[in-house]
């Protein structure tokens, strides 16, 4: 899991991990559920439920070539540019 900190107000396209309740032999248990979704974060917000950041709102990185995947349009930060680092910080959760 990643610890993602927004350094500015941002929108990221990410794999979010949540806990889905299931019935197991009459008892309630939880299993991980992964979903790709847009996550809006405000400056200073920290999320630790993200396993992978796929892309950013293309308006945040206008010089990048935006790509389309299904109904989603986003910019992919292929390298950690100064602009990318100015938007968010990613660390391994628990560090």
Please tell me the predicted confidence (pLDDT) of residue 66.
Answer: 75
pLDDT tier at 85, thresholds 50, 70, 90: confident
- The arithmetic mean of pLDDT across residues 79-90, rounded, is 73
pLDDT digits (tens, 9 = 90+) for 45-84: 999 999 988 888 888 877 777 777 777 777 766 566 556 7
Q: Do residues 9 and 18 touch, judged by C-beta distance below 8 A?
A: no
Rg of the Cα atoms in the chain: 15
Provide CB contacts within 8 A for 24, sequence distance 6+. none
């Amino acid at each position: 899991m990643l610890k993602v900190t927004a350094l500015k107000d941002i929108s990221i396209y990410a794999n979010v991990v949540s806990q889905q309740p299931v019935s197991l032999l009459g008892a309630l248990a939880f299993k991980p559920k992964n979903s790709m979704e847009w996550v809006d974060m405000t400056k200073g917000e920290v999320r630790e439920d993200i396993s992978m950041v796929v892309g950013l709102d293309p308006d945040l990185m206008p010089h990048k070539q935006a790509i389309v995947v299904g109904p989603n349009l986003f910019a992919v930060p292929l390298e950690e540019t100064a602009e990318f680092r100015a938007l968010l910080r990613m660390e391994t959760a628990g560090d």
